[in-house]
Copies of this chain bind each other. A is one copy, B any other.
Amino acid sequence: MNSFGRNFRVSIFGESHGIELGVVIDGVPAGLPLSEADLMVDIERRKSGARGTTPRKESDMPHIVSGLFNEHTTGAPLAILFRNENTISNDYRNLVTHPRPSHSDWVAGQKFHGWNDYRGGGHFSGRLTLGLVAAGAVARKVLAGVEITSRILEIGGCTDPAGFADVVEAALRAHDSVGGIIECRADGVSVGWGEPFFDSVESYISHAIFSVPAVRGIEFGTGFQAARMRGSSHNDPIVDATGRTATNHAGGVVGGISNGNPVVFRVAIKPTASIAAPQQTFNTEHGAVEELRIRGRHDACIALRAPVVIEAATAIALADLKLTASTR
């Protein structure tokens, strides 16, 4: 449900407009140096600020309230809390009867029989990724020697980073939103992570990545393009005893197991569902389709803030696979 992992186990809780949100991380090896400042590096990267990101400003100060002693992890669960400060809840009242298109409003109400906290998307809000980023920062500590990085390949179909700002600006002027594509890679992954059949590296990473709101697709190595290649050009010949391959079309994973080459994958992020332009939706009170105007503070391009979240989800999946591999 809201937890993930076998030996490195992450449990997320909180809502967009609740009192506190956070994460509990179980299975963290003892003796890792850790501080709240360490977490802030990734948390800062997640913050809004660029043109096209939400004007909601939060301090996002993490509070590590357990599992830390003498500035090192103790082996007991880490609980990391964040206070919600800048909430304007009356923005959201009318959305109960006017579910926003392509948002969780309607399904959440159905699944939880009307009891869900609908304010700002409640538990479905992208704000929950704050806990994910904190857990990812801890996972990076577990993954000493592995470097996880990412970059934006496309924004709104534009592949030139110099043009990203213009694409977002144009969308904003049109009261609209845009999506993007992010590439993530993990260098330094050892050979042999991933479990046969169900817990392949791709299964595990994709499970974590699709928990990030707005993700619509994932492809490893050559991905969808692989379907258009022949085996003779797609195959990666092994060139030395460490398993290095001449090419890396596999994206570092063969048979579900890491092969020592960089793990590389791409993620598609949809355009933000909340747009300022008027839309049609079904008014559940009136029983008719009506116009909806979304107020509130939103990101016109959530893909701009997604890279660190994608890295965090990846780190969480890899940290667990690493610990599990150590039992073999």
Q: Which residues of A contact B (CB under 8 A)?
A: 1-4, 6-7, 9-15, 18-22, 24, 26-27, 29-31, 63, 65-67, 69-70, 72-79, 81, 99, 101-104, 106-108, 110-117, 119, 121-124, 128, 154, 156-157, 171, 174, 176-181, 191-192, 195-200, 202-204, 206-208, 210-211, 213, 215-232, 234-241, 243, 245-246, 249-251, 254-259, 268-275, 277, 279-282, 284, 287, 289, 303, 323-328
Contacts and interface: CB of A to CB of B under 8 A. Distances in A.
Contacts of A67: 13, 15, 123
A279 B236 CA distance: 10
Q: How many copies does the complex hold?
A: 4
Query: Chain B CB within 10 Å — which of A123, A225, A284, A323 has the most?
Result: A123
A111 B257 contact: yes
Contacts of A289: 237, 239
Given A2-B77, A216-B221, A107 B196 contact: no
A66 B7 contact: no
Contacts of A171: 230-231
Contacts of A269: 226-227
A49 to B, nearest CB: 21
Given A206-B206, A255-B107, A102 B227 contact: no
B229 A107 contact: no
Nearest to A119: B69
* Residue among A7, A31, A254 with most chain B CB within 10 A: A254
A192 B104 CA distance: 10
A179 to B, nearest CB: 4
Nearest to A80: B13
A151 B101 CA distance: 29
Contacts of A280: 237, 246
B76 A235 contact: no
Contacts of A156: 227-228, 230
A74 B119 CA distance: 12
A205 to B, nearest CB: 8
B191 A12 contact: no
Nearest to A289: B239
B211 A203 contact: yes
Contact of A76 (B20, B122, B241): B122
A234 B156 CA distance: 12
A231 B1 CA distance: 28
A254 B76 contact: no
